[in-house]
Structure 1
């Protein structure tokens, strides 16, 4: 099945690309989530208009992302979690936690843009990449501290 991507899809292509995908992937994931549309003659005519507007939109998004990178690189997030032996956390710090704390600081960042490969489960300082645009990535400093155990 051939589809035209309406949005950037990781490991598949960028907005405006015509890609060949498995029928099930196209019908059950890309089309219902409006990430793509079927590639037929009428839609291919529309794609030319989409590509022109996508170039303009991409340039605008990139300049906005570059402005946001300067602000995000100075941000430090601090999380306190209960710790066990060897400074191993009982919970973890996930991309959702990072996105929520960024939102509290006034940055509207989607959790999917936080490029955290696996949740942080150790005490320490980490630099977490936030992909704002396909060519622009910011790095947020995240500090995970151990919470003092309550007196029993």
Structure 2
């Protein structure tokens, strides 16, 4: 019997998957626990409609992230910091510092975990990478100057 899963089921499939199971398993376990519905024409049409809506929403989200990436690409983020006696930085520059600067400068809400960069030990320019989503990332320049 073909069924459409309404929840993720280990060793069987994920939500909205169309799977083939035995009649007894479907009637005695999946249907009573509302883990699956029968794969008739009506339910298949509904499933296809929902998958298409999810796909469209995903495409729109990626296009939105592409616009943000085009706005950020190649831009400079300037961070002022104090220097120690030997010309090295006093303290460290964290992804939180960079995130706060980007969010305030460009009026965005980017998570600090999405920012990757090499460790900053002295003044200068450093490349940073921001992963907006799985398909879209953007490179920027971090400019560290002394106060």
Q: In which range does the TM-score fall when normalised by the shorter chain? A: 0.5 to 0.7
Gaps of at least 5 residues in structure 2 are 1-6, 9-14, 18-32, 39-46
Gaps of at least 5 residues in structure 1 are 5-15, 19-39, 148-152
- Superposition RMSD in Å: 3.2
TM-score by length of 1: 0.58
| CA distance in 1 between partners of 2:86 and 2:121 (Å) | 11
User: Is the CA contact (8 Å cut-off) linking 1:125 and 1:141 kept in structure 2?
Assistant: yes
How do 1:120-139 and structure 2 match up within 5 A? 120-139=120-139
The structure where strand makes up a greater share of residues is 1
For residues 66-112 of structure 1, the C-alpha deviation after alignment (integer angstroms, 9 at most, x for no partner) is: 11111101431111111225532121111111111112111221212
Aligned counterpart for 1:42 among listed residues 11, 32, 35 = 35
Alignment partner, residue 73 of structure 2: 73
Higher CA-based Rg = 2
Q: Matched residue pairs, number?
A: 110
TM-score by length of 2: 0.60
